[in-house]
Structure 1
Amino acid sequence: MSRLEQQLWASADILRGKMDASEYKNYLLGLVFYKYLSDLELRAVYEEANGKPDEYPSRDIQFAELTEWYSDDAEELKNTMRRKLGYFIEPQYLFYMLRNKASQYEFQIDDLQTAFIELSRQGENFISLFDDVDLNSTKLGSHAQQKSTTIMEVIKTLDEIDLFGHEGDVIGDAYEYLIAQFAAGAGKKAGEFYTPQAVSKIISEIVSIGQEKLAPFHIYDPTMGSGSLMLNIRQFLSNPEKVYFHGQELNTTTYNLARMNLILHNVDREQMRLNNGDTLDADWPTDEPFLFNAVVMNPPYSANWSASEKFLSDPRFERYGKLAPKSKADFAFLLHGYYHLKDSGTMGIVLPHGVLFRGAAEGVIRRVLLEMGAIEAVIGLPTNIFYGTSIPTVVLILKKNRVSRDVLFIDASKDYEKQKNQNTLRQRDILKIVDTYKKRESIFKYAHLANFDEIVANDYNLNIPRYVDTFEEEEQIDIVALGREMADINLQIKKKETDFLALLDELAVTDETKEIIEATKRMFM
């Protein structure tokens, strides 16, 4: 664990005993986000006044620069920062000032509440963003002073973290680390907001193949969670600054988390279009653009949905003749995502293994997709790599207008590293999957390229063991050699017994030892 990660996780200790992970993540992630915006403003003001330095001075000096400009011409400073950052936090509400008040034990929880309200009024990106940071919760304390003390200690601890003092995408990495840690502690609730980085990388790299130089690049996640699945695409594109992120999320708390996450990853507000809504109940987006270069998804597994007959005339589902069952919306999510894929695009979706072989309506939908050539690859993942569920999962890769209807099957279920609570895909496991996908060739006991006739012969069942034989025969036992070995061992035991009895005969016999020696001899007769 890096120094940064240690500092981040230690800051959670104050709240960990008061509430579970699904609750305290809202406080800690919200405060980390607010600290980032505050510290970024201090640096931006210093840059405007002095140019970008090789090394930034202390925040004391940065704050002094800000207050001097604010005293001289507050309106000019506000307008400059709003053009540069899209917001302006008043000096008294900066995290720096809240920390100073906390150090002097003058902090009151109303100070933070007012700071959140003021920022929420500064444009669409910040509306309702801190609604889930419940500063009135009795879990923080039974009265206002106790609540103030709790949050004061959190602020003091978080302020020790230098979000800008490390190489790489520290802010993004720190945020992803915190999300992962909360996911580990949140159990089943974790699936609402986090896809493990290894799985995100596999999907991101695959859907970018052949599209690396596209600019602008539009990616869509209809069940975006924290947005982490979309964000990985940038590392595989030639123009990462020209990626446009489109995402929808039903859970309001998780939707706000995604908004914070994208801002923390330096996504410009003009390049994100996020919506808080039900992906299946009403199609979104319906205005341009509504087709995308890449669609990525990790929807809730086998979720309930209405499956109303009205959806049979919905353009997302009508061509398949059947709807996903009410108790298993897996194919409903898949068809929604596929509908929004460009003809030249690629889609990657994580689903439970049941979609490969379940019959009835799902079997009909799967058959239509295969007859269209929509399913390009089936990648079986190890068990227990997702937070909150140990079930094995599969990544389906889909495309439109393919010439062939073959399907590449990859069984990656045995390639992982076992850790304390979760299994994890190593870098070499990720590279093996992606390399196999690119080569699109059969590999003994790992991958198989099945033609359409083979799939038809299997009655459109895509269960991976039907195509990739990973069975290991047990080593043949040589009965004759085993018998000889056992006979030899018995002879050796007999010799040892004889030697031992001879030693007993050589012992000096007394009245005290005679009975013991005789009893020992009887054991070997």
Structure 2
Amino acid sequence: MSQSQQLQQLKKQLWNIANDLRGKMGADEFRDYILGFIFYKYLSDKFIRFANNILAEEGEGFDNFANFDTSNPEHLEYIEEVKENAIDEIGYALAPNQLFHQLAKRGKQDQAFILDDLADTLKAIEQGTLGTDSEEDFANLFEDIDLTSTKLGNSPDDRNELIVKVLSHLDAIDFDLSNTESDVLGDAYEYLIGEFASGAGKKAGEFYTPQMVSTLLAKIVTSGKDTISSVYDPTCGSGSLLLRVKREANDVDRIYGQEMNRTTYNLARMNMILHDVNFTKFDIKQEDTLKRPQHVGMRFDAIVANPPFSAKWSADPLLLQDERFSDYGKLAPKTKADMAFVQHMLHHLDDNGTMAVVLPHGVLFRGSSEGDIREYIIKNLNALDAVIGLPANIFYGTSIPTSVLVFKKNRKHDKDVFFIDASDCFDKQKNQNMLLPEHIDTIIKTYQARENVDKFAHVASLKDIHDNDYNLNIPRYVDTFEAEPDVDLAAVAKALQDLEKKSQETDATINGFCEELGIDSPFKVGS
């Protein structure tokens, strides 16, 4: 089976489990359970492979960690050795009786009540990292899996029955972690996140950026670079944007992110680990980025973001003393934090870095403090490199058109700004417009070529932008107006003459016919 076929099969299997077993529970509610259990199975499968590789060195009879007995003193010695090595290398450890397959088998074959043991196991994974380098990455990771919730069933037995069904279905699926180069499971996990996002409506904007938008931003910040030393997303959601940059680049050394929503923060950490990003290679923090930034003093090679559109924030005047905002002398309005995120990201952008951020169209032309900030970025920092208009209705929960703004501090093209109008680059689907791979290719090739394209792209000088009072509304620079075809006045005149002649001939014919009948013609002059 090819990797593509394997991926499609895995997507179908996982989504069928999620769809069939959630019952009346909302998709966004069941999301935390199914994604959490998939993650637990991944941790278990990965751990047992790791453990068996270590035990294989001990010789015959030590080939399966799952068969070890914690009550056997001889076995216990090896169990502790494996756990110690695992904590150092993969960041966590499990006991034989805590493995996913063991719990699923007990629940299915023995009809045992496993909820308490499952809760203890998930807690043990978190607590087993206390005092280690991976502590922060596993702390409270499973806190959103509430096995006592009546959403799973009215009684403990009802809840146990449902959870056993979910674990049994997942247990039957081979995640096939043998090929470390393959990202099939990671892709399937991303697919599930996207499917839950499409069913979550407006809430989806809190945690998920559509995959093709993520791909566009990732291709922009990796354009012309083989390796990325560090990538950062200040509103990272589920981490999909960061992981897309990792995929587009040949190598990403370190991944950084911050997310305000606790549940989404947990999902982002799971997503990193499930995509085989070692715990030493990512640093995801949970806090309000504008109010309490967690990566103070750091600069990043690449920055990507899809901040919540026109979010409210404090706009506290004391923030004018914050080095992120002080040079501008202005703060974004309380009801629209878009430019505050831009200021924050520019502050963290390395001198040779690239930043791509999705924003609502209003940031291109709104006045007041946003206009002043926009002017400062262009006139004083000269950091705006490109503006790309995207189609309407491509994001979950909102139909507004959006734009991608690209920033660089040391720009190669420092005398102009490149505008692309990609608002017609979409495939119309049932509920949403979709950017297709060919649309992404067109946009990226145009961005890299940086040349005028009739009705699609325009290189605007800084003087042009100054003359437009720093208004970046794309139609001011990319003329997409479709003029009516030139009218041949002589041909029109001749056609009118021919029409008049035919009309007169018709009148004459009718008049003659009426005379033969001895009646007055309605077309006879003077009648």
TM-score clears 0.5: yes
Deviation at 1:166?
9.0
Deviation by residue 1:482-510 (Cα, 9 ceiling, x = unmatched) = 989999xx9xxxxxxxxxxxxxxxxxxxx
Distance 2:310 2:172 in 1: 43
Q: Does 1:374 align with 2:383?
A: yes
CA drift of 1:141 comes to 0.9
Deviations 1:221-264 (A, max 9, x none): 11000111011122333334xx2011100000000000000001
> 1:129 maps to what in 2?
141
Q: Hey, what does 1:494 align to over in structure 2? A: none
Which residue, out of 252, 258, 263, partners 2:268? 258
Aligned to 1:93, which of 98, 106, 109?
Answer: 98
* Equivalent residue number for residue 401 of structure 2: 392
Match status 1:450 vs 2:460 = yes
Q: Which residue of 1 aligns with 2:470?
A: 460
Kept in 2: contact 1:102–1:152 (CA 8 A): yes
- Separation in 1 of the partners of 2:288 and 2:17? 34
Residues 482 and 175 from structure 1, CA distance in 2 versus in 1: closer, same or farther, beyond 3 angstroms? farther
Who is 1:120 aligned against?
Answer: 126
The structure-2 alpha-carbon separation of the partners of 1:484 and 1:294, relative to structure 1 and needing over 3 Å to count, comes to: farther
Residue 31 (str. 1) matches residue 32 (str. 2): no
Deviation at 1:419? 1.8
Q: In structure 2, how many angstroms separate the alpha carbons of the residues matched to 1:115 and 1:350?
A: 40
- Indicate the residue corresponding to 2:226 in structure 1: 212
Shift of 1:45: 2.0
**Distance in 2 separating the partners of 1:429 and 1:65:** 54
Closer/same/farther in 2, CA of residues 62 and 428 from structure 1, 3 Å limit: farther
Distance 1:441 1:111, change over 3 A: same
Compute the displacement of 1:270 (Å): 1.1
Residue pair 1:222, 1:247 contacting (<8 A) in 2 also: yes
Aligned runs of 1:46-445 on 2, under 5 Å? Answer: 46-50=52-56, 63-64=66-67, 70=75, 73-104=78-109, 105-123=111-129, 124=135, 125-164=137-176, 168-213=182-227, 217-240=229-252, 243-287=253-297, 290-371=298-379, 372-402=381-411, 404-445=414-455
Deviation at 1:73, TM superposition (A): 2.6
Are the aligned partners of 1:121 and 1:127 in contact in 2 as well (CA < 8 Å)? yes
Partner SS for 1:219? strand
Q: In the alignment, residue 67 of structure 2 is paired with which amino acid? A: A
Match in the other structure for 1:13 = 19
Amino acid at match of 1:340: H
Structure 1 302/6 Cα, relative in aligned 2: closer, same or farther at 3 Å? Answer: same
CA RMSD of aligned residues (A): 2.5
Per-residue deviation, 1:304: 0.3
Q: Is the 8 A contact 2:328 2:373 kept in 1?
A: yes
SS in 2 for 1:77: helix
Please report how far the alpha carbon of residue 376 of structure 1 lies from its aligned counterpart in structure 2 after TM superposition.
0.5
* Cα shift at 1:108: 2.5
- How many Å separate the matches in 1 of 2:499 and 2:436? 43
Aligned residues: 474
Give the direction of change, closer, same or farther, for the CA distance of 1:308–1:72 in structure 2 (3 Å limit): closer
Structure 1 gaps of 5+ residues are 52-59, 491-525
Q: How far apart in 1 are the matches of 2:294 and 2:51?
A: 39
Deviation of the 1:425 alpha carbon: 1.2
Query: Is the counterpart of residue 471 in structure 1 residue 471 in structure 2?
Result: no
Is the Cα–Cα contact under 8 Å of residues 90 and 278 in structure 2 kept in the other structure?
no
Question: In structure 1, the residue corresponding to 2:276 is in which secondary structure?
Answer: coil
Using the TM superposition, give the Cα deviation of residue 65 of structure 1 relative to its aligned residue in structure 2, in angstroms: 7.2
| Counterpart contact for 1:42–1:66, Cα < 8 Å | no
* Equivalent AA in structure 2 for residue 10 of structure 1: N
Identity of aligned residues (%): 48
**Alpha-carbon distance, 1:71 to partner:** 5.2
Q: Deviations 1:456-495 (Å, cap 9, x if unpaired)?
A: 11111100111111122345788689989999xx9xxxxx
Residues of 2 paired with 1:143 and 1:27: CA distance? Answer: 18
Cα separation, partners in 2 of 1:481 and 1:22, compared to 1, 3 Å: farther
The alpha carbon displacement at 1:85 in A equals: 2.1
Contact 1:18-1:140 at 8 Å conserved across structures: no
Deviations 1:33-76 (A, max 9, x none): 0000001112222222348xxxxxxxx96633798984563222
Measure, in 1, the Cα distance between the counterparts of 2:398 and 2:75. Answer: 52
1:54 match:
none
Q: Distance in 2 between matches of 1:471 and 1:111?
A: 66
Instruction: Give the direction of change, closer, same or farther, for the CA distance of 1:450–1:20 in structure 2 (3 Å limit).
Output: same
Seen in structure 2, the aligned counterparts of structure 1 residues 440 and 41 have a Cα distance that, compared at 3 Å, is: same
Aligned-partner Cα distance in 2 for 1:485–1:292: 73
Q: CA deviation at 1:170?
A: 1.2
Deviation at 1:83, TM superposition (A): 3.0
Q: Distance in 2 between matches of 1:387 and 1:261?
A: 20
Distance 2:158 2:95 in 1: 26
Secondary structure of 1:146's counterpart equals helix
Native 8 Å contact 2:458 2:478 kept in 1? yes
CA shift at 1:423, angstroms? 1.5
1: CA distance between counterparts of 2:244 and 2:372? 33
SS in 2 for 1:12: helix
Give the letter for the 1:446 counterpart: F
> Which residue identity is paired with 1:193?
F
Against the structure 1 CA distance between its residues 72 and 343, is the aligned structure 2 distance closer, same or farther, given a 3 Å change threshold? closer
Distance 1:157 1:454, change over 3 A: same
Retained in 2: the 8 A contact 1:374–1:405?
A: no
SS of structure 2 residue aligned to 1:161: coil
Q: Which segment is superposed worse, 84-93 or 256-265?
A: 84-93
Instruction: Tell me the distance in 2 between the aligned counterparts of 1:260 and 1:286.
Output: 24
TM-score by length of 1: 0.85
Q: Is the 8 A contact 1:45 1:66 kept in 2?
A: no
